[in-house]
Structures are given as structure tokens and as C-alpha cells.
């Protein structure tokens, strides 16, 4: 999660930008940079590796000017270094660009631009952006038109902020997909642009949130908002509280909705620095488990509670498929009282976003006594779980306030998936030729996830229709069986409706007797290897009068004939489909809970971290 801040106005830009960077540092911390523009049509850029403090001491009050942009980086493409730190510039050094996201097609763009004579000085995907825009400017397009022409060519979920020497008081920002927020803060003869509200609220309380495929042309005394088709749009100006907690919700009614929408960005954060798009490798730097030990693993055992247990269930399937290792999972509260047969060649993996769940800690403690290797996945540095495990992989979801887990689930999944690929590569189970595809599929995920967050109409309609139906059934097979359980858990947790998740094949063995026209059956049926079996189960449920809500693939044209309601997910690799199918289920639960008037962020009887047995 990179941090972005920009300012144009009547004050000195540099102190405002540097102060904001310190606030944003929690988002990323491997390097930082700043560009400040002067009226004489030049700009000065300073970039440093390491903390914002290093940048501050390098600047030492050197920058004068009333407009500028700045960035804290957390590396995706290219190591943390001065060359790879943002802002990046073009061939003649006229543009300055900061960016959050992944330019999926950066290798193709780089190749084309190099053929046209552009020279690159970094390994970042970001650097393609100024060179691409420069190309249009060189061909006679205006600054703004060049950005509008370049934006559609940049594939993936990306938030970009840039300036140009020829327009020293103008900042242009555009957003594609959901790689991270961009918020415009409107003051008196000064305007701010930032990735976080907290960087703006010390200065002004009138803000506008940029949405997907929108651009803002920012000058000190006015801002024009357009869509990427160059049509001017009217945006709502919101007044935000200076209370950091109240303002933290941003434009969302509940933290849970905000956190559901943050998932494309938070999974980028989980991936950052861990996959290399240049040589298609996985680099889990926080994993100390040596390859020699990985080669000898005979079994993987996964555990967790609640949502984290569902992540463990999915982890089992990925470890079997990608690493070729027998894998098992159990609920931590059951595991701790079993007499598990665990050999010393077992790898024990626990998942706990809080790192404080009593049962998970007890299961870990039990395994600590047997001295087997333990890896824990956690969202909090220095949690208790980290003290019990040999290795901690931070899932990097950022703060999750809603009690019902959303982004911590998908970040746990992405981290488990990376670990499974890593172990699969070390053990030679994964064919080297397939690794680029595995990595490229991951790079596409943020954009695909973001496409599922664009509309709420279907969920509001379903909530209106079914919010009083007392029982729901969720069905899935294979990789989507844990998602059926997680969907049912979300609905139970926040709407207080009864919901059961079942493997679809089990439906005939009992739950089918419950089905009548009062029971919505949420069927997760992407076009994967279980599709035909799922279709049979769906028909059986429909024949008993059940109301079918199908979560189906975009390309499935016939599903509408078999379901009462269809929610489409983009086509994607089978292994990663759970990261998409979960999003409609989170949204469905959310809108049903809202329609029922429930306290979504703090559901009755639940706690974010259950520290007692
Ligand atoms: C509680 C929360 C759930 C969470 C579970 C495990 O029950 O309400 O949302 O999934 O604990 O929490 P952990 O912190 O271990 O992931």
C-alpha cells in the first residue's frame, strides 16, 4: 500500500507534503520521494531508500515551490532503492509521477517504448506511465489529453497522480479500478490529493472521492472532474469530521463496507515485495524455513477459527494442488483436545488475523511442545501467535475494524496461496513453465476484484426480497465449499439469519428436506471442474421449490435458465476463483444486514478477537 499526497496552493508545498508522508508511512516504508514544482517551469525531485525520516534529512529545507507530489513506497516491481522510489519521470524530465497499483501490461508497454527510443532508469512498472504520456505530448497532444489517452492503455487497478513542468500549478490524478483511494481535499485557494483522508483532514474538511475510471484536473482555485471518456462529471463534495475515527469511515456507511471495498488494495499489499514480475519468482523474505526442510515435509497441517478456519480449509486444497503435499485442517478448538498424530516432518500452519485467538494459540502451544516447524499468518505485528511460531507471514490487510472479517480473509488467502506456490517451487512440484502464468493470474486479481465492487443494485434488490426469510443454504464444491461456509458465516454474523454452508454433494443427505419456496439457496457455480455436478445440485434444489441465487461465471450464458437470480463474477483461473466468489457473498450479507437494521460493524455477542476459550 503506497501512500500518495499532492498539494497545489499558496503555501510552501514541501513541509505539507513531508508531514503527510510521515502520516502515510504506515502504508509502506521501503522508500520515499518528493517533487516540488516552481514557477520557472522546473521541478526538483528528491528520493531516498528507507524511512521518511531519511528523506526529511536529505531535503533539509531545500525545496521551494507551491505545488508538488510525494510518495511512500512499498515495492512491487523492483527492489527498494533510490532508482525505484517514486516520483518517476519521462525522457526529458518534464513529468513527475507517483502511483499505487500494478500496471499489468508494463512489460509490453516498456518494450514498445524502448523500441521508440525511451530509456528507463528503474525496474518499476510505474516508470512506463510518464514515458507513455510523454509520447503523446511529443505528438502534439496537450498534457490533459495525453493523460486521457494513456490511461486506457494502462491495464490493471491503478491510482496515479502526476505533474508537468509546463503546468507547475496543475496536478492531474486518475483512478482505474480499486488499487487504492484517491481523495481530493478542497481548501481556500489550495487543493490536496491523497491516498488517505488522514493526510487531508489536518488542512480542510471538504473532500471528493475519486471513483473508478475518473480523472481530476486540479488547480489551486478549482478542480474539474471527468470520466476517462473526457466527459465532465458532477461529484458530491462531502464534509468530513476532523475526528480521526469518524473520518476513517470515509464515504462508507460502515467500516465493513469500507473494508470489503479495500480488498483489491489490501491484496496488493499482501503481494507487495513477495512476487517479482521481472523474473517471475516468489520471495517470501519473512520466511526463514530453509529449503532443505521444505523438501522433507511429509504433511501440512492447517488450523484456525471462524473465518481463519475457512482460510485453512482452502489452504489445504492449494497445498495439495500446488505443492503436492498431503494436507489436513482442523478447527483449533477441536485440534487442541485431540491426540493428533504429528510426525516431525509435519509443517504446522496457523491462521489468526488477530494473533490472539485463545484456541488457535493453544493449538500452537501444543505443537510447540512437539518442536515441529510452525508458520503463522497474522495481521498484527508482535501478536502472541508470532512468539509461538518459528515464522510469521504478515497478511498486511491493514486495520480491520468491522468485527466480521472481510479483507483479512482475502489477504490470508493470498498469503497462503503464495506460500503454497513457494513450497511447490522449492519441491519441484510446479512446472517452471507454469510459474509466469501463476504470477500473472495473481497480478490480475485486484482489478477483477474491483470489478465486483462497482454495483450494489443487485444486492439491495435481493436484500429487499429476502431479508425476512429465516433460513439460507449456501452450496459449493471443491475450492468453493469453504467459500459456501464463509458466506453462511457472514450472513449469520451480521444479519442474525440462520444460514448453513454445505458441500453441494452432501445436500441430498439431509439438508434437501429443508428446501421449500421460503429458502434462498446461494449456489457458488463458477465454470470450473465441478460445474456440471453443481448444475445437477442446483436443479435438484430448484425442483424442490428453492429460490436459487447463483454466483456464476461471466461467460456462463445458460445459467439464467436454471436460477432465479444470477450474480456474475469475471472469468479467472479455477484456483483463484474463491477470491472472487467471496465478494458477492460479503456484499449480500452486508446489504441484508443493513436492510434488517442490524449493527453491521459490531454484531451482537461477537468480538473481533476471542481471547477466551
Ligand atoms: C472471531 C471473529 C471472527 C474471526 C475469528 C478468528 O470469532 O468474530 O471474525 O474469524 O474470531 O479470529 P482470528 O483473529 O483468529 O482470525
Give yes or no for residue 246 having a pLDDT over 60. no
pLDDT, mean of residues 99-118: 92
Do the strands 391-394 and 471-476 form a parallel or antiparallel pair, or are they unpaired? Answer: unpaired
Identify the residue with better confidence: 606 or 441. 441
Catalytic residues: 2, 608
Query: φ, ψ for residue 537 (rounded to 5)?
Result: -65, -40
pLDDT, mean of residues 88-99: 93
Give yes or no for residue 509 having a pLDDT over 70. yes
pLDDT digits (tens, 9 = 90+) for 205-231: 899 989 889 999 999 999 999 999 999
Which of 143, 387, 413, 117 has its CA nearest to residue 263? 413
- Give the per-residue pLDDT at 363: 94
Which residue's C-alpha comes closest to atom 2 of ligand 1? 608
CA distance 414 to 408: 10
Q: 491 C-alpha to center of ligand 1: Å? A: 15
Residues with Cβ within 8 Å of 154's Cβ and at least 6 positions away in sequence, in order, are 103, 105, 109, 128, 129, 132, 160, 176
CA distance 554 to 567: 9
- Give the per-residue pLDDT at 611: 61
pLDDT, mean of residues 524-536: 94
Rg (the chain; Cα; Å): 25
CA distance 195 to 297: 42
| Window from 62-66, 333-337, 410-414, 527-531 with minimum mean pLDDT | 62-66
Count of other CB atoms within 10 angstroms of residue 472: 25
pLDDT, mean of residues 156-174: 94
- Give the per-residue pLDDT at 356: 87
CA distance 501 to 519: 13
Do the strands 471-476 and 498-503 form a parallel or antiparallel pair, or are they unpaired? Answer: parallel
CA distance 365 to 103: 43
Minimum-distance ligand 1 atom for the alpha carbon of 304: 15
Instruction: Say what percent of the chain tops pLDDT 90.
Output: 70
Minimum-distance ligand 1 atom for the alpha carbon of 308: 16
Q: What angle do CA 296, 300, 303 make, to 5 degrees?
A: 150
Which of 162, 351, 161, 174 has its CA nearest to residue 270? 351
Q: 497 C-alpha to center of ligand 1: Å? A: 19
On the CB side of 130, CA atoms within 13 Å amount to 27
CB 147 within 8 A of CB 174: yes
Q: Give 85's pLDDT tier (boundaries 50, 70, 90).
A: confident
CB 490 within 8 A of CB 589: yes
User: Who lines ligand 1 at CB under 6 A?
Assistant: 304-308, 352-354, 357, 360, 403-405, 606, 609-610
CB 303 within 8 A of CB 335: yes
Q: Give 1's pLDDT tier (boundaries 50, 70, 90).
A: low
Alpha carbon 458 to its chain's center: 22
Which of 176, 187, 181, 174 has its CA nearest to residue 219? 187
Cell 452486508 maps to which residue? 590
Which residue's C-alpha comes closest to atom 5 of ligand 1? 306
pLDDT, mean of residues 273-281: 84
Give yes or no for residue 233 having a pLDDT over 80. yes
CA distance 84 to 121: 8
Cis peptide before 87 (omega within 30 of 0): yes
Q: Is 287 helix (H, G, I), strand (E, B) or coil?
A: coil
Answer positive or negative: Cα dihedral of 46, 99, 237, 589.
negative
Give yes or no for residue 465 having a pLDDT over 70. yes
Q: Give 280's pLDDT tier (boundaries 50, 70, 90).
A: confident
Please state, rounded to an integer, the average pLDDT across all residues of the chain.
91
Q: Give 457's pLDDT tier (boundaries 50, 70, 90).
A: very high
User: 357, 362, 393, 602: which to mutate for ligand 1, most atoms within 8 A of CB?
Assistant: 357
- Give the per-residue pLDDT at 559: 95
Q: 357 C-alpha to center of ligand 1: Å? A: 7
Q: Give 524's pLDDT tier (boundaries 50, 70, 90).
A: very high
Answer positive or negative: Cα dihedral of 547, 551, 552, 557.
positive
Minimum-distance ligand 1 atom for the alpha carbon of 306: 10
pLDDT, mean of residues 240-260: 79
Identify the residue with better confidence: 77 or 157. 157
Q: Give 451's pLDDT tier (boundaries 50, 70, 90).
A: very high
pLDDT, mean of residues 116-143: 94
CA distance 331 to 30: 37
Q: 360 C-alpha to center of ligand 1: Å? A: 10
Give yes or no for residue 245 having a pLDDT over 60. no
- DSSP for residue 198: G
pLDDT, mean of residues 310-337: 96
pLDDT, mean of residues 598-606: 86
Q: Give 383's pLDDT tier (boundaries 50, 70, 90).
A: confident
Count of other CB atoms within 10 angstroms of residue 536: 12
Q: 520 C-alpha to center of ligand 1: Å? A: 26
pLDDT digits (tens, 9 = 90+) for 12-39: 999 999 989 887 766 556 789 999 998 8
Answer positive or negative: Cα dihedral of 26, 28, 34, 35.
negative
Q: Give 83's pLDDT tier (boundaries 50, 70, 90).
A: confident
Which of 303, 312, 325, 272 has its CA nearest to residue 416? 312
Q: DSSP letters of 549-597?
A: EEEEETT-SSGGGT-SEEEEE----GGGTHHHHHHHHHHHHHHHHHHTT
pLDDT, mean of residues 434-446: 92
Q: Give 613's pLDDT tier (boundaries 50, 70, 90).
A: low
* Helix (H) or strand (E) run with residue 335 in it: helix 332-335
Give yes or no for residue 247 having a pLDDT over 90. no
CA distance 13 to 32: 16
C-alpha cell at 291: 529449503
Minimum-distance ligand 1 atom for the alpha carbon of 360: 15
CB 60 within 8 A of CB 7: no
Give yes or no for residue 244 having a pLDDT over 60. no
- Number of helical (H) and strand (E) elements in the chain, helices listed first: 19, 25
Give the pTM: 0.78
Q: 127 C-alpha to center of ligand 1: Å? A: 40
CA distance 73 to 460: 37
Q: DSSP letters of 95-126?
A: EEEEEEE--TTHHHHHHHHHHTT----SS-ST
Q: Is 601 helix (H, G, I), strand (E, B) or coil?
A: coil
Minimum-distance ligand 1 atom for the alpha carbon of 405: 9
User: 306, 358, 402, 600: which to mutate for ligand 1, most atoms within 8 A of CB?
Assistant: 306
User: 608, 611, 612: which to mutate for ligand 1, most atoms within 8 A of CB?
Assistant: 608
| Window from 276-285, 439-448, 565-574, 578-587 with minimum mean pLDDT | 276-285
* Helix (H) or strand (E) run with residue 128 in it: helix 128-138
Amino acid at each position: 500500500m503506497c501512500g500518495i499526497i499532492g498539494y497545489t496552493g499558496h503555501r510552501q508545498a514541501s513541509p505539507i507534503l513531508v508531514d503527510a508522508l510521515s502520516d502515510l508511512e504506515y502504508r509502506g516504508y521501503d522508500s520515499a520521494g518528493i517533487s516540488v514544482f516552481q514557477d520557472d517551469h522546473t521541478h526538483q525531485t528528491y528520493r531516498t531508500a528507507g524511512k521518511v525520516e531519511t528523506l526529511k534529512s536529505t531535503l533539509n529545507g531545500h525545496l521551494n515551490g507551491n505545488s508538488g507530489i510525494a510518495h511512500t513506497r512499498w515495492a512491487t516491481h523492483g527492489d527498494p532503492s533510490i532508482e525505484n522510489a517514486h516520483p518517476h519521470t519521462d525522457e526529458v524530465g518534464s513529468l513527475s509521477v507517483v502511483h499505487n497499483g500494478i500496471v499489468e501490461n508494463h512489460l509490453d508497454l516498456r518494450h514498445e517504448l524502448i523500441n521508440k527510443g525511451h530509456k528507463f532508469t528503474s525496474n518499476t512498472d510505474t516508470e512506463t506511465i510518464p514515458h507513455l504520456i510523454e509520447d503523446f505530448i511529443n505528438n502534439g497532444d496537450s498534457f490533459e489529453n495525453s493523460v486521457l489517452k494513456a490511461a486506457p492503455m494502462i491495464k490493471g487497478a491503478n491510482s496515479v497522480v502526476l505533474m508537468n513542468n509546463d503546468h507547475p500549478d496543475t496536478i492531474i490524478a486518475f483512478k482505474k479500478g480499486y488499487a487504492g483511494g484517491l481523495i481530493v481535499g478542497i481548501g481556500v485557494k489550495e487543493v490536496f490529493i491523497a491516498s488517505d483522508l488522514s493526510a487531508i483532514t489536518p488542512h480542510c474538511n471538504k473532500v471528493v472521492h475519486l471513483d473508478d475510471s475518473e480523472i481530476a484536473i486540479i488547480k489551486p482555485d478549482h478542480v474539474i472532474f471527468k470520466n476517462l471518456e473526457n466527459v465532465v462529471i458532477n461529484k458530491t463534495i462531502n464534509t468530513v469530521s476532523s475526528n480521526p475515527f469518524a473520518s476513517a469511515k470515509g464515504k462508507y456507511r460502515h467500516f465493513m463496507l469500507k473494508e470489503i471495498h479495500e480488498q483489491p488494495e489490501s491484496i496488493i499489499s499482501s503481494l507487495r515485495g513477495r512476487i517479482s514480475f521481472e523474473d517471475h519468482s516468489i520471495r517470501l523474505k519473512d520466511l526463514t524455513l530453509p529449503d532443505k526442510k521444505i523438501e522433507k515435509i511429509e504433511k501440512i497441517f492447517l488450523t484456525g477459527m471462524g473465518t481463519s478456519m475457512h482460510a485453512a480449509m482452502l489452504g489445504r486444497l492449494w497445498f495439495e494442488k500446488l505443492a503436492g503435499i498431503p494436507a489436513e485442517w482442523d478447527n483449533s478448538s477441536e485440534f487442541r483436545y485431540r491426540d493428533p498424530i504429528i510426525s516431525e516432518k509435519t509443517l504446522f500452519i496457523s491462521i489468526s488475523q488477530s494473533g490472539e485467538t485463545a484456541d488457535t494459540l493453544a493449538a500452537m502451544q501444543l505443537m510447540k511442545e512437539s518442536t515441529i516447524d510452525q508458520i503463522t499468518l497474522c495481521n498484527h505485528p508482535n501478536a502472541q501467535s508470532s512468539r509461538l511460531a518459528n515464522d510469521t507471514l504478515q497478511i498486511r490487510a491493514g486495520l480491520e475494524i468491522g468485527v466480521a472479517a472481510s479483507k483479512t480473509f482475502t489477504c490470508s488467502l493470498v498469503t497462503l496461496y503464495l506460500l503454497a506456490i513457494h513450497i511447490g517451487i522449492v519441491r519441484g512440484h510446479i512446472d517452471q513453465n507454469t510459474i509466469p502464468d501463476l504470477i500473472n493470474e495473481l497480478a490480475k486479481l485486484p482489478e477483477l476484484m474491483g470489478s465486483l465492487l462497482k454495483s450494489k443494485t443487485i444486492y439491495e434488490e435481493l436484500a429487499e426480497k429476502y431479508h425476512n426469510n429465516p433460513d439460507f443454504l449456501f452450496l459449493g464444491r471443491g475450492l468453493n465449499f469453504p467459500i459456501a461456509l464463509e458466506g453462511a458465516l457472514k450472513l449469520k454474523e451480521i444479519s442474525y439469519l440462520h444460514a448453513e454452508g454445505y458441500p453441494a454433494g452432501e445436500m441430498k443427505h439431509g439438508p434437501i428436506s429443508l428446501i421449500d419456496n421460503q429458502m434462498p439457496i446461494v449456489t457458488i457455480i463458477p465454470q470450473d471442474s465441478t460445474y456440471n455436478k453443481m448444475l445437477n445440485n442446483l436443479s435438484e434444489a430448484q425442483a424442490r421449490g428453492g429460490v436459487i441465487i447463483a454466483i456464476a461465471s461471466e461467460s456462463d450464458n445458460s445459467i439464467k435458465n436454471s436460477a432465479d437470480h444470477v450474480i456474475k463474477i469475471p472469468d479467472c483461473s479455477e484456483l483463484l476463483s474463491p477470491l472472487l466468489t467471496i465478494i458477492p457473498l460479503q456484499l449480500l450479507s452486508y446489504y441484508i444486514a443493513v436492510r434488517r437494521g442490524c449493527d453491521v460493524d459490531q454484531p451482537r455477542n461477537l468480538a473481533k478477537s476471542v481471547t477466551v476459550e
